[in-house]
Structure 1
């Protein structure tokens, strides 16, 4: 939109309210150069851009404005802060009216896979940032992310504040290259953690924006394994929403740069899951090859793992392999693997245990065994409610129609009553 076109749109917005606006091209130019529009003018700007009126936060100009047409900030030498700003802006919206397309996400993954292999230089100006402050943010972030599952559900506001602080430091601070690298790494890690919070609550556009912001900052830090992990999370979300074409595309791009065996294990597991879920005979062999690759990478993985995939274990390999085999029709073997994986999972990962239990319930239903299915589905639902994970509750809700033919089986009426409560 040109300056003249925006000015005309603002004048028209004022006219529709029986008022006049003196906005012209020169005033728009002043706004672009840092002069803050009045609250009234910001309202007219919103209408001229076709945005919801409740987007306006006059005390946060211009951060409430969308930065892109499709929600995806392109990778570039100075894209890390704009991507963070876009995520923070999206999270402040009272309603989300835009969904990021699979094509836009696949294009972003392709740009990442084919981009420069070195860290991206950022401009450094403003007030000096101390090593002590960054160390404090790193330490407290690690502590918050390491809390037990039921406590982590209460940390969202603290993590949001940490990410906002890191964004301000990156944008307005002055720091040496080593400190800049740490700030980008911290921004990537925080973005990933916040994204999972949003994803668990079903806020998919918000989660996507935070994962995208994390990708920009991992790219700026030159951390390709972290970048691959963030793409893997976007792929997991796409698969969760049944967009397996996008998920497979993103994962294949992520695998081009991931190096750590634990990271490659997780990527291959997720690729196997999404290939199997597509239900095509032609995908059976690629899915089995991905499972075999995941097993090999896990065997090769040592103690030196990126923090974001340090948790990948034999339990994850067993359950995700079992779920893939379930989709491929190998029900008996799938049931054994899912049961074994759930048994191996440590108690500290109760949210994941809830997901695994839901998978096990599905495998029991495939075997037409409603009693054990009801028992583990009940456990899954109770764990999901205790840990505050609506996403996990949805897994059980999706199974409920399959229990309807077994309403007289032991445990089924109680499960249905619990789910309705």
Structure 2
């Protein structure tokens, strides 16, 4: 029989590395800073851990004793507001999937954005996942029954939201959040068969991944990473190795976006140890090539080229049986990502050609990706001191990004604007600068 789940207060105290004596002392110190005294002792803490609710004042002291700011407290939602981890990562375990989801949902609140995940913690999580020695599917609960019809509705409606045109998906984040909160509640409190529980974990992983990308596009990185980690726990719970590898690939993409290329490379190397589907491996190899090339280390040139060759071979091997999260990987992605990697390696002529080819191959349904590709093309033109076509590509990308609600693409263009300043009189550049300023 599995060990009982510890009370969130006990879990939070252990995550913070506090002994009972240290924790009680921290509560006394928090009260003293306000010129007050607290009568909290070990016996009272144990009562809280058995279900007695501390008053709001005590909850504030608890937060500070654990090293968190007082404004994290939501006294009416005790003990759910308690952080369950000190480094932002819930470790894998038989009951880790729901706490990871809860951590992601709570991090969505502004007061939880400080709960960022360090590069060391992310790399360690990826290594732990790659070890693959956990059985993380918890037993069913004794709560209210969860039926087939409800789960089927959640699956179908989630799929419908995911299939909306790009321009319409900008209106769906609140619906996706609600779906994920519902699935989390069902996993935590629902009673269902093993088959339905597997479907709920799978749906949780997919929803968490989609929500993470929405947060990432908005620049909410702490929340995005928590959702990707939550998705990883749920994919791991059902033994979906490709989905898990994909979620690690997303975390690596975020790390690379933030300039943490060594962290990204380590995560991708762990992900590739267990990914099986050729389309999944293609995407991971492309991201590995991109992040290694971005380090601009001449000694890694061959490694970059090997990763690009592996990605091409995997794409050739990929059939129609692909995981949903990487079903879109195509010749267009291979061309553009290869071009971007070659651009970092200094092969600008071939890079420009590949980026242009990839953009032409991209289907109209992928407007957000088209906007990103256009910014890549603009950058490659600037590398070749061609401001006119660069301005045309950036102008098109900016108009597209604003229409479909793609703030990440807008930020890419903003980052390019200083490079246009030396060409302020070139054709199209004044119009671009004016559009960007509006």
Counterpart for residue 216 of structure 1 = 233
Output the CA distance in 1 between the equivalents of 2:32 and 2:295.
53
1:335-414 to 2 correspondence within 5 Å?
Answer: 335-414=352-431
User: Does the alignment pair 1:122 with 2:124?
Assistant: no
1:263-282 to 2 correspondence within 5 Å?
Answer: 263-282=280-299
Output the CA distance in 2 between the equivalents of 1:44 and 1:188.
35
Output one character per residue of 1:172-211: Cα deviation in whole Å (capped at 9) or x when no partner. 1111111111011001000100000110000111111100
Counterpart for residue 207 of structure 1 = 224
Counterpart for residue 184 of structure 1 = 201
Output the CA distance in 2 between the equivalents of 1:395 and 1:273.
16
Counterpart for residue 186 of structure 2 = 169
Output the CA distance in 1 between the equivalents of 2:137 and 2:381.
53
Counterpart for residue 226 of structure 1 = 243
Counterpart for residue 117 of structure 2 = 100
SS of 1:127's partner is coil
Counterpart for residue 274 of structure 2 = 257
2:331 to 304, 314, 320: 314
Assess if the C-alpha contact under 8 Å between 2:92 and 2:136 holds in 1.
no
Output the CA distance in 1 between the equivalents of 2:129 and 2:33.
45
1:37-116 to 2 correspondence within 5 Å?
Answer: 37-94=54-111, 96-116=113-133
Output the CA distance in 2 between the equivalents of 1:364 and 1:77.
52
User: Does the alignment pair 1:300 with 2:317?
Assistant: yes
Output the CA distance in 2 between the equivalents of 1:411 and 1:335.
20
Structure 1 residue ranges (4+ consecutive) displaced by more than 6 angstroms after TM superposition? none
SS of 2:199's partner is helix
Output the CA distance in 1 between the equivalents of 2:62 and 2:435.
49
Return the TM-score normalized by structure 2.
0.93
Assess if the C-alpha contact under 8 Å between 1:3 and 1:29 holds in 2.
no
Q: What is the CA distance between 1:15 and its match in structure 2? A: 3.2
SS of 1:174's partner is coil
Provide structure 2 residue ranges, at least 5 long, that are not aligned to the other structure: 1-17
Q: How many residues align?
A: 420
Assess if the C-alpha contact under 8 Å between 2:140 and 2:194 holds in 1.
no
Output the CA distance in 2 between the equivalents of 1:3 and 1:31.
13
Q: What is the CA distance between 1:98 and its match in structure 2? A: 3.9
SS of 1:290's partner is helix
Output one character per residue of 1:44-86: Cα deviation in whole Å (capped at 9) or x when no partner. 2223223222211122222211111110111122211111111
Output one character per residue of 1:257-298: Cα deviation in whole Å (capped at 9) or x when no partner. 111011011001101111111101111111111111111111
User: Does the alignment pair 1:26 with 2:43?
Assistant: yes
Q: What is the CA distance between 1:95 and its match in structure 2? A: 5.7
Q: What is the CA distance between 1:5 and its match in structure 2? A: 2.8
Counterpart for residue 12 of structure 1 = 29
SS of 1:339's partner is helix
Output the CA distance in 2 between the equivalents of 1:176 and 1:227.
23
Output the CA distance in 2 between the equivalents of 1:416 and 1:227.
42
Assess if the C-alpha contact under 8 Å between 1:192 and 1:214 holds in 2.
yes
Cα RMSD after superposing both structures: 1.4
Counterpart for residue 133 of structure 1 = 150
Assess if the C-alpha contact under 8 Å between 1:268 and 1:294 holds in 2.
yes
